[in-house]
């Protein structure tokens, strides 16, 4: 529940929005300049990156996953066949269990 103080529905005045935009664009150019100087400084040093064994394994797994197809065409064909022949059966208890498991997983992810 919001409280309307200024009569504009909680939105900042147009002038404030424009001022924020101009400050953001000024800040971006300054950070770009400092970022480029930092990149130059780091490039001239002898910096090294060493990946752990786990990181190397993760990269290998990511490469394998990237090569997998997005859709399991065999499974899609099976479902199409069962729908076409009328042999597709829904198990309400199994669907409910899957939904509850999914919802429980969403709660843990947050």
pLDDT, tens digit, 9 for 90 and up, residues 45-89: 788 888 788 888 999 999 999 988 889 999 999 999 999 999 988
Confidence of residue 102 (pLDDT cuts 50, 70, 90): very high
* Dihedral sign computed on CA atoms, order 12, 15, 21, 25: negative
Cα 3 to the chain's mean position, in Å? Answer: 33
3 has a pLDDT exceeding 70: no
- Across the chain, what does the average pLDDT equal? 74
Question: What is the per-residue pLDDT for 106?
Answer: 86
Q: How far is CA 56 from CA 48, 51, 62, 88, 95, in A?
A: 16, 6, 10, 43, 38
Q: What is the pLDDT of residue 37?
A: 46
> How confident is the model over 36-47, as pLDDT tens digits?
444 455 556 788
Q: Is the pLDDT of residue 107 over 70?
A: yes
Checking if the pLDDT of 16 tops 70, the result is no
In whole angstroms, what separates CA 77 from the centre of its chain? 30
CA distances, 57 to each of 9, 50, 60 (Å): 52, 13, 5
The predicted structure's pLDDT at residue 100? 94
């Amino acid at each position: 529940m919001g409280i309307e103080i200024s009569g504009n529905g909680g939105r900042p005045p147009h002038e404030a929005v424009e001022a924020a935009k101009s400050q953001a664009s000024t800040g971006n150019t300054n950070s770009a300049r400092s970022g480029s100087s930092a990149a130059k400084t780091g490039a001239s040093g002898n910096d090294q990156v060493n990946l752990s064994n786990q990181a190397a394994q993760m990269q290998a797994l990511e490469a394998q996953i990237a090569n997998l197809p997005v859709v399991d065409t065999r499974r899609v064909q099976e479902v199409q066949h069962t729908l076409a022949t009328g042999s597709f059966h829904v198990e309400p208890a199994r669907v409910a269990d899957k939904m509850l498991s999914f919802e429980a997983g969403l709660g843990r992810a947050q």
